[in-house]
Amino acid sequence: MVAQAYGMDRSTVHRWLARFDAGGSTGLMRLPGSGRVRKLTQLDTIALRKMVLAPASQYGYETDFWTTRRLIQVISSEFGVALSKQTVMRRLHGSGPQLPEAGTRVL
């Protein structure tokens, strides 16, 4: 009944109950994900948002038009790390709907 009320599978509710029984409310906290550590931890959502919302001319370009390639170049020169186009796009999408898409002009 609880699972149905929240629109989830029963097994999810049972997992949560087992985690709560084992560790209380602390047991319900999200565990750190596995996988490779990010190459660039300094580029958080706020730093990326600030970079993209600034005019591209502030970083030495003739126009204020941002492209993914320009973002990659700026990130490389600012942080000394080469990121792929996919990584930059994933970071942009993860930064929220307020960011303009790469390749659009910020006025």
pLDDT tens-digit map of 72-105: 999 999 888 888 999 889 888 877 655 555 555 5
Answer yes or no: pTM beyond 0.85: no
Q: Yes or no: say if 95 and 49 are a contact pair by the CB < 8 Å rule.
A: yes
**Tens digits of per-residue pLDDT, 33-45?**
777 777 777 777 7
CB-based burial label for 68 (10 Å; 0-12, 13-18, 19+): middle
